[in-house]
């Protein structure tokens, strides 16, 4: 039975750590491998090849999402469009391209990525557009979870806080670190552990949830 874990955006940072943890089961799609997650035609072409070789994936993990730290009134239209394309359009197109095959197979796990605090009803002055996109991802995930649960497919969201990796935003993290009750930045391994749980058999009855990994930042 196919146990492939299709990781969209697994070329660096958290996505790369997840891919490394999945080992031989991981299939990684990034722009460098010729797949643009915000381009439906690119996804369709890549998935047609994948499906011929492997069938429907056991799991889909979407980690794409650029960060922009700007106040709302200081955000120009180009930044808005880029944030939407990276954080929201890529999720929508990936779901549309791949999840129907998982529903047909009547099995599988979908894991999307948001950000710690994106599910809270409060102002996000640090990066309002980014958090708005991630809030939309959470809503899509919850709706999708209800839609595909009868087919045996679970859908959950991992919401990392301040995670230290080579491509993280160090200045922003340094400003926010004093607010983290755990007193440290998270590591990719902290996030990988959450993903590993959601992929495990023990999580087969967990769906439509947001698993926050932030050292207590949003408590």
What are 186's strand-pairing partners?
A: 163
User: How many CA atoms lie within 13 Å of 106's alpha carbon, on the beta-carbon side?
Assistant: 1
Which of these is catalytic: 58, 113, 130, 131?
A: 130
State how far the Cα of 188 lies from the Cα of 36, in Å rounded to an integer: 23
To the query of whether residue 205 is one of the catalytic residues in this protein, the response is no
Please, is 124 exposed, middle or buried when counting C-beta atoms within 10 Å of its C-beta (0-12, 13-18, 19+)?
middle
- Report CA dihedral (135, 140, 141, 143) to the nearest 10 degrees: 130
Q: What are phi and psi of 31, to 5 degrees?
A: -60, -35
Q: Write out the catalytic residue numbers.
A: 130
């Amino acid at each position: 039975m196919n146990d492939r874990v299709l990781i969209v955006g697994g070329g660096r940072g958290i996505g790369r750590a997840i891919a490394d943890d999945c080992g031989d089961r991981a299939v990684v799609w990034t722009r460098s491998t010729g797949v643009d997650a915000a381009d439906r035609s690119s996804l369709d072409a890549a998935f047609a090849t994948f499906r011929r070789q492997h069938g429907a994936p056991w799991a889909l993990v979407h980690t794409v999402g650029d960060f922009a730290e700007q106040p709302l009134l200081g955000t120009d239209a180009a930044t808005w469009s880029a944030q939407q394309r990276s954080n929201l359009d890529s999720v929508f197109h990936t779901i549309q391209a791949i999840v129907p095959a998982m529903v047909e197979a009547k099995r599988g796990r979908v894991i999307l990525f948001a950000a710690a605090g994106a599910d809270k009803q409060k102002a996000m002055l640090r990066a309002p557009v980014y958090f708005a996109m991630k809030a939309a991802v959470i809503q899509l995930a919850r709706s999708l979870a209800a839609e595909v649960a009868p087919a045996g497919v679970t859908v959950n969201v991992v919401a990392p806080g301040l995670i230290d990796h080579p491509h993280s935003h160090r200045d922003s993290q340094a400003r926010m670190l004093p607010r983290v009750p755990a007193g440290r930045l998270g590591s990719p391994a902290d996030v990988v552990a959450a993903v590993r749980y959601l992929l495990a058999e023990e999580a087969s009855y967990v769906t439509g949830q947001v698993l926050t990994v932030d050292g207590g930042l949003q408590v």
